[in-house]
Chain A
Amino acid sequence: MTHIDDTTVTEAATSTHEVSGYSDGQLLERVRRGDRAAWGELVHRHAGRLWAVARSQGLDRDMASDVVQFTWLALVDSAAAIREPESLRAWLVNVAKHEAIRVSKKFNRESPTLDDSPCETADERVEAPEARLEKADDVNAVQAALARLGRRCRSLLQLLFADADLSYAEISEVTGMPIGSIGPRRGRCLAELRRLLES
């Protein structure tokens, strides 16, 4: 497992690639013919989404990193066999989801006392009582409230608000929630989060 440096940001890596406007299927066809730039474009197009899928299963940064890397390696092994290249995005999300669930279950089996523990952002931030009044505009306070939220609500809000460009269909696929229930649950989870924030 490679340890992820928390201080690194993505700007440097994202600013150097060019966007061609090719579809996923066209890029995959180019990748199959050995086009490295096409691979880079696929990675930049989808890595953030795969990261969000892995993180939404409660994985820490190192575990999520392994899941994302595994997903791309799986694509290397399967590239020739993918029958619907234009469905590559769904294929990637599906692989990342299954691997993240497998890792999450293994982790919870090996560390049962950590099951359903608050996410790392809450562990890192202990709130001082005098800070309560300033809660409303405090990212840390929202993160602490998120950590107290139920796991399914937290996962849903992460997927909806983490800027990972996931469709409702993909969120439904990742969470197992029916598409039609995502909107109502979104409202209920936000209301519950607000209640925790204000309590």
Chain B
Amino acid sequence: MNAPMNDRSSTPPTFEAQVRRAVRDPVPAAVLDRSLAAGEWFAMDTAIATLTNRETVDAAAAGVRGVGDVTTLTFTHERLTIDVEIGTDLAPVVGQVAPVVRATVRLLSPSDTLATTATDGHGMFEFAIAPTGPFSLSIRRSDDGGELVRTEWSAV
């Protein structure tokens, strides 16, 4: 700072000024960078499957196979439904596309493709890694002219 706004050096700061200093918490540069980078997704002109249902249960309490929270997310776009389960003991991410389609499924973080797989004969897919921050799944159908759908950004 080039010059003090006023010369208060002889008087103690007010209590409120002390509180202001104590809670000072500017947004970190890394957070601004991640926020700015999020805008790059505008360039991907992809159909978005929107979240239509979300449930989180404690696996032990609910008698579900898994450890800790199991989150089930359902996304839909027109006739396509994508169900995703995160936290079961089958795999970190398990999903199913309905109606059954052959498709390439990508697990996306805001900055990377984390993993790529394909649906099986039942429309099911799984990933061996779990997302730790916001994630999206892109589904590119092998038939139907390679139609591409991306689930809206989610976090668990």
Contacts and interface: CB of A to CB of B under 8 A. Distances in A.
Contacts of A68: 27, 31, 34-35
Contact of A61 (B28, B50, B69): B28
Given A66-B155, A73-B110, A157-B23, A13 B32 contact: yes
Interface residues of A, number: 59
B62 interface: no
B22 to A, nearest CB: 4
Nearest to A121: B22
Contacts, number: 145
A2 interface: yes
A40 B23 contact: no
Interface in B17-50: 18-36, 38-39, 41-43, 48, 50
Contact of B29 (A9, A61, A99, A158): A9
Given A2-B133, A66-B133, A79-B42, A190 B19 contact: yes
Interface stretch (A18-26, A44-52, A82-90, A167-175): A44-52
B18 A139 contact: yes
Given A1-B133, A70-B134, A76-B153, A47 B31 contact: yes
Interface residues of B, number: 41
Contacts of A36: 39
B33 A73 contact: no
B38 A72 contact: yes
A43 B36 contact: yes
A157 B59 CA distance: 37
Contacts of A69: 31, 34-35, 38, 110, 133-134
Nearest to A69: B34
A13 B29 contact: yes
A179 interface: no
Interface stretch (B8-16, B95-103, B138-146): B8-16
Contact of B19 (A65, A109, A161): A161
Interface of B: 12-13, 15-16, 18-36, 38-39, 41-43, 48, 50, 56, 58, 68-69, 110, 132-134, 152-153, 155
7 contacts: A4-B31, A31-B42, A77-B50, A79-B42, A146-B23, A163-B20, A163-B24
